[in-house]
Amino acid sequence: MSTPPSTRRLPKDVPARIEWITLALFAACVVVWCTAVFVLPQVSLVLALPLLVLALVLHGSLTHEVIHGHPFPSFRLSQALVVINPGLWIPYLRFRDTHLAHHQDANLTDPYDDPESNYFDPAVWARLPWWRQWVLERNNTLLGRVLLGPVVGQLAFVRADWAAIQAGDGQVIKGWAWHIPSLVSIPLVVWAAPMPILLYLGACYAAMSVLKIRTFLEHQAHSVARGRTVIVEDRGPLAFLFLNNNLHVVHHMHPRVPWYRLPTLYRANRDRYLRANNGYLFASYRSVFARHFLKAKDPVAHPLWPSDH
């Protein structure tokens, strides 16, 4: 799960006009965040906390939209919407660089070349201490991914970035330097608000846990790249919070299509997409929970990794 040397691969094209639906959703997200931080804590923290989690999850999904060139014709202007990360966990520039590297579909699930892979090289896995194997095996159940996933993922991410910084990778250094305003300004704003800072940090963790539901089985080990990316035919609240990224193979095949057009595109070409991903399909997130809440989706050691790699 190491991060490859960073490369700046930005979208080659931009929307011809402002995507007002996405921009309106950004505005709504800011309003919900402000309400949860400044208004509701004076009424009820029980109401404020879930609303804050929802705002942070939605902001994370909107950040993903920006990475793929939405909502402005100007990519710099789009980035200005998300360069301050209220969720605190991941620097925007690092998310951008690693996610665009992830979109090299030929490398999906590769323990070395896919920055978002949860698989290990079996030789590396065999050398891990038992307690770390135990944690990672729990992390491969949905319950474990929700409870442990934010910590497991962040530690792996920071460890890889620290190694890159020590090697003098300027793009990684820049990514973390640009994150300092988020780490300073957001806690200061929350400190001045009626929202307790520890509760805010708890909401950041919970938001990342919700996002881990989406990423849990987005990709599987498969002998061909096109069979590695899932479709979850969910149309409920989670699909909205994930901005239809549950239709994941559609997004990977058309990464420049905005979130609100993905369902129509999928419905018009459902058979094509299911042929493309070899039928890697779940009917809903309810079925994902039913199958994998306590059961690992697959081994941590990449099951198809060549022994002589």
Rounded-to-integer distance, Cα 262 and Cα 229, Å: 15
pLDDT in tens, the chain (309 residues): 444 444 444 344 456 689 999 999 999 999 999 999 999 999 999 999 999 999 999 999 999 999 999 999 998 999 999 999 999 999 999 999 999 999 999 999 999 999 999 999 999 999 999 999 999 999 999 999 999 999 999 999 999 999 999 999 999 999 999 999 999 999 999 999 999 999 999 999 999 999 999 999 999 999 999 899 999 999 999 999 999 999 999 999 999 999 999 999 999 999 999 999 999 999 999 999 999 999 999 999 999 998 665
Q: How far is CA 226 from CA 45, 105, 248, 280, 297, in A?
A: 45, 8, 12, 10, 19
